[in-house]
Amino acid sequence: MNKSLIVSALALTLLSGTALAETADKRIALSNNYAGNSWRQAMLQSWDTVTKPAVEAGIVAAADAFTTAENQATEQAAQIQNLILQGYDAIVLNAASPTALNGAVKEACDAGIIVVSFDGIVTEPCAWRIAVDFKGMGKSEIEYLKDALPDGGKLLEIRGLAGVFVDDEISAGIHEGVAENPQFEIVGSVHGDWAQDVAQKAVAGILPSLPQDIVGVVTQGGDGYGAAQAFAAAGRPTPIIIMGNREDELAWWKEQKDASGYETMSVSIAPGVSTLAFWVAQQILDGKDVPKDLIVPFLRIDQDTLEANLETTPSGGVANVEYSQEDAIKVIEGE
């Protein structure tokens, strides 16, 4: 659907009363703590794709995005305080820390501002939270490997950004899965920052100290292709590397699948979750009663769905789902 059609459709929705004109003068801001990988870039692009037509259709007055220069809670807290002073009615927040921003979030709430956190959520009770079951996502990697490798073996873990809720939860799920499947052993762990270049460097650095018989690499997203490159550069056999829905990972997987029948799976949260958070904020501003905690499914790609997902994933991008206002209402209502 082209942009003019999207705007027309949203305008019709506005006139029909689904999105009441009560939000037409409301301003929503996106506070984002980090943009240094393809997932975050896709997340910001999805925000623009969905919110700009919503603004043009008069559903909200503004939907501005702000990203901090560094992944620092102190810098993001200052950003939130600036958004309070600028008079935004709602802040959609991808947080650097689940707890360190609680003071700034409480300030926003006390000023009458709606705060909806997603992906990197916050624990402040006044805020809303939209998340996938990140722990379950991590555990699903081990569930896959126990079927693919019934004899188990040694695993390398690649984590995300240190200190971020998402990283802690996915890692906890991976370790819980290993505890329940003691045929596996994690023999090394590095932080890849959800970026393939960082992951490649980190894996290359740890490989010389690891046993030769690594059977699997458990990951968090944006690190699978970098891990594959590091193993190849070291002249080591390629283990089963769990992928994270990035186009470079899916393209590499397709090449290996065609050449040798290589099998794996890919899993991540869709970057378009930012658009769900936008619509949830709009619905709250519109007077909708919304549960404080909303769960959305993670996006998984398997051997038989690889080609279809790769075909729709842009070069350098991430497999994605963007949400409409109708989708948000369904999530809110638990459908």
266 pLDDT higher than 60: yes
2 pLDDT higher than 60: no
Q: Within this chain, do residues 105 and 93 fall inside the same structural domain, yes or no?
A: yes
Please check whether residue 305 lies inside any domain of the structure: no
Please check whether residue 181 lies inside any domain of the structure: yes
Q: Which residue has the tokens 């650095």?
A: 205
Q: Within this chain, do residues 87 and 116 fall inside the same structural domain, yes or no?
A: yes
Percent of the chain with pLDDT strictly greater than 90: 86
Q: Are 48 and 88 in contact (CB under 8 A)?
A: no
Q: Which residue has the tokens 């984590």?
A: 159
Q: pTM, whole model, 2 decimals?
A: 0.83
Q: Within this chain, do residues 172 and 49 fall inside the same structural domain, yes or no?
A: no
Q: Within this chain, do residues 44 and 112 fall inside the same structural domain, yes or no?
A: yes
Average pLDDT of span 43-65: 97
Task: Say how far apart CA 119 and CA 20 lie, in whole Å.
Answer: 27
pLDDT tens per residue across span 65-82: 999 988 899 999 999 999
Task: Say how far apart CA 173 and CA 167 lie, in whole Å.
Answer: 10
Averaged pLDDT of the chain? 92
Closest to 279 (Cα-Cα) out of 333, 332, 335: 332
Q: Within this chain, do residues 91 and 12 fall inside the same structural domain, yes or no?
A: yes
- Using CA atoms, how far residue 65 sits from 84, 135, 284, in Å, is 14, 28, 19
How do strand 266-268 and strand 299-301 relate by DSSP bridges?
antiparallel
Average pLDDT of span 118-124: 95
Average pLDDT of span 115-125: 96
- Determine the structural domain holding residue 264 and report its residue range: 134-268
pLDDT tens per residue across span 312-331: 999 999 999 999 999 999 99
Q: Within this chain, do residues 11 and 84 fall inside the same structural domain, yes or no?
A: yes
Closest to 118 (Cα-Cα) out of 101, 106, 132, 102: 132
115 pLDDT higher than 60: yes
- At residue 131, what is the residue type? A
Q: Name residues whose C-beta falls within 8 Å of residue 185's C-beta, 6 or more positions apart in sequence.
A: 152, 153, 154, 155, 178
Q: What is the CATH number of the domain that holds 286?
A: 3.40.50.2300
Q: Within this chain, do residues 281 and 182 fall inside the same structural domain, yes or no?
A: no
Residue 285's pLDDT band, with cuts at 50, 70 and 90, is very high
Query: Minimum mean pLDDT among 79-83, 85-89, 171-175, 194-198: which range?
Result: 194-198
- Report the pLDDT value the prediction gives residue 119, as an integer from 0 to 100: 92
14 pLDDT higher than 60: no
Average pLDDT of span 230-244: 97
42 pLDDT higher than 90: yes
109 pLDDT higher than 50: yes
C-alpha triplet 140, 71, 65: angle, nearest 5°: 95
- Report the pLDDT value the prediction gives residue 29, as an integer from 0 to 100: 98
Q: Within this chain, do residues 118 and 10 fall inside the same structural domain, yes or no?
A: yes
- Report the pLDDT value the prediction gives residue 7, as an integer from 0 to 100: 43
